[in-house]
Structure 1
Amino acid sequence: MNTIAKKRLLIVWHSRTGAAHQMALAAESGAQAIAAELQAEHRLDIVVKQAAQVDAQDLLGADGFVFCAPENLASLSGAMKEFFDRNYYCALDQLNGRPYAIMISAGSDGSGAARQTERICTGWRLRLIAPALIVNTDAQSPQAITAAKTITDNDSAACETLGATLAALLL
């Protein structure tokens, strides 16, 4: 009889232009691939949810997290920040030690949003598994900033690797 507990990876995302959503889906793909490679698909649930749809029960039911959002005006996007604000105290002192990763889509920098996410997750006492992955879209004009984005194959591969790494740690 198999007594190994099933693990749940929660990928929380927000995106306006599509880049962060593509990054979240790439992380999911990487997590699925490593679970298949380890012949452990039956031991991992991967849940991908938009930040606005995530509640405290989703957080409490997860064993690890990927937080994926754009940087807006040198900080975390408002919808992702609202997700953290809405759930912070409901999950406080209940997620201690769980692993997480950060993926940020940015027009030029991304470090402000990454730092902000790290500070929030430090309060939850989560364990960062790798430096934040920042995908730079080089969007500098108003038109480029608001335009739909497609991330590069290299950026997608990096997101897959991060998702796979987190999944492998859970398995």
Structure 2
Amino acid sequence: MAEAAHAAAAAEGRAILLPAAKANPKDLLAAEGYIFCAPENLAALSGVMKEFFDRCYYPVLGQLNGRPYAQMICAGSDGENAARQLARIATGWRLKDVQPPLIVNTSAQTPEAILAEKEIKDTDLARCAEVGAALGAGLAMGVF
């Protein structure tokens, strides 16, 4: 999902793809906008994504105001709580939500399905690419 969004954003201009575990406050400060992509685990953001926000939240507080963001959640059920959690963090940073959350539902409900490697459908990857293209184009045109 993140790779599809990144490729489309990069086609519109400069884009960097970083895993949450490696991203840091300097990366956030250097960016003009953000696409946060995370799995939902146990009806919440994944631990590594939450740790990213915990680690970076205060060092950039008050310095990202008004920057655009979008979010993509990969969920086994509805993904709404993870999206709400991410939106609350973005609100604290005073980021500008530029589109509704994209939630890709894998419908993984059995133990076997939950533990299996997930395959994202081409139609969902196309939706992810649309998120990247929209944010990339908006930044390139100065819309945000």
Q: Note whether the superposition's TM-score is higher than 0.5.
A: yes
Percentage identity across paired residues of the two chains: 59
Partner of 1:145: 114
Picking from 81, 91, 102, the partner of 1:122 is 91
Q: Secondary structure at the match of 1:66?
A: strand
* Structure 1 residue 153: Cα displacement: 0.8
Partner of 2:21: 52
Q: Which runs of 4+ in 1 moved over 2 A?
A: none
AA matched with 2:100? P
Q: List runs of 5+ in structure 1 lacking aligned partners.
A: 1-22, 36-43
Partner Cα distance (2:100, 2:114) in 1: 25
Q: What are the within-5 Å matches in structure 2 for residues 17-28 of structure 1?
A: 23-28=1-6
* Structure 1 residue 118: Cα displacement: 0.1
Partner of 1:63: 32
Q: What are the within-5 Å matches in structure 2 for residues 1-171 of structure 1?
A: 23-33=1-11, 35=12, 44-171=13-140
Q: TM-score, normalised by structure 2?
A: 0.95
Aligned-CA RMSD value: 0.7
Partner Cα distance (1:55, 1:151) in 2: 27
* Structure 1 residue 143: Cα displacement: 1.5
Q: List runs of 5+ in structure 2 lacking aligned partners.
A: none
User: Which has the larger share of strand?
Assistant: 1
Q: Secondary structure at the match of 2:15?
A: strand
Partner of 1:20: none
Partner Cα distance (1:87, 1:30) in 2: 26
* Structure 1 residue 32: Cα displacement: 2.8
Partner Cα distance (2:10, 2:59) in 1: 29
Partner of 1:15: none
Q: TM-score, normalised by structure 1?
A: 0.80
Partner Cα distance (1:60, 1:101) in 2: 16
Higher-Rg member (1/2): 1
Superposed CA offset, 1:72-117 (max 9, x none): 1111111100000000000100000000000000001100000000
Partner Cα distance (1:66, 1:26) in 2: 11
